[in-house]
Amino acid sequence: MVDIATQSIFLYFAGICSTGTVFLTLHIYILIDNDLEYNTEREPLIIPEYGRHLQKMVQYAKSRPDKEERNNLARAIISVMGNLQPHLRDVPDFQHKLWDQLFIMADFDFDVESPYPIPSREELYARPEPLKYPQNHPKYRFYGNNIKTMIDVANTWEDGDLKEALIYTIANHMKKCFLNWNKDTVEDEVIFEHLGELSGGRINLMETDEDLSDATSLMRTKKKFSSNGNGGKKTFHKKNNQNANRRKRY
């Protein structure tokens, strides 16, 4: 406990100083009251980023009986919280976030006038709804889900050159995916059969005379050549030791 002399000094300075100085005097008061505390005896920090002293200031502001004084202390605490995080000043609703954090540190029991809606404990600790992941179990997983989506889109198109070009593009991509999974060669009839099965029988290329792209051209990788004409090889130059040239000879 703080003695009577310390309390009278604090009240004297609190009566003659501005709001910001009241907060500074409050900080001094807490340091006087903090008499050899150990971390094991202290309350856990609710928001560790603001530190122990700021949480004690919030607890002190909660204990004041006068509501006008609590409002002044709350605004002073919000000002200091903003100074502790200057990198967040450009964030939208910055002041709203600070007031929410103030009520969180006050354990949602702080009777002050807030310019924003006061958050509740249930709103903070509410569990989010589980995400709905797509439960697709395709028969040919090596083609991927995008191939099935492209086939469904092709089924909605009207017959014509664009649809035919899209179907052959899908078939060539299916052949490339198949070769990524199986490095050996694959016949076009296998791709046509899988394409007809995935399309529900609406796409039939079994009777076509046009072949798909060659497996070698589908799996060919582009070689990167540098512009120096050395076939991509790096040239290394020996560094001349200038210190050796400057060495004096005797």
Note the pLDDT tens digit of each residue in 63-97. Answer: 999 999 999 999 999 999 989 888 877 777 888 99
Residue closest to 55 by CA, chosen among 107, 123, 113, 17: 107
| Contact of 170 with 202, CB cutoff 8 Å | no
Which residue type is seen at 68? E
The residue assigned the tokens 């903070």 is 124
More confident residue, 234 or 165: 165
Query: For 106-160, what is each residue's pLDDT tens digit?
Result: 989 899 999 999 888 888 888 888 888 766 677 788 888 888 888 888 988 888 8
| 59-82: b (≥16 Cβ within 10 Å) or e | ebbbeeeeeeebbbbbbbbbebbe
Q: pLDDT-based confidence at 100, cuts 50/70/90?
A: very high
Residue among 135, 139, 173 at smallest CA distance from 154: 173
Confidence of residue 103 (pLDDT cuts 50, 70, 90): very high
Inter-CA distances, 209 with 4, 189, 206, 220, Å: 103, 11, 9, 25
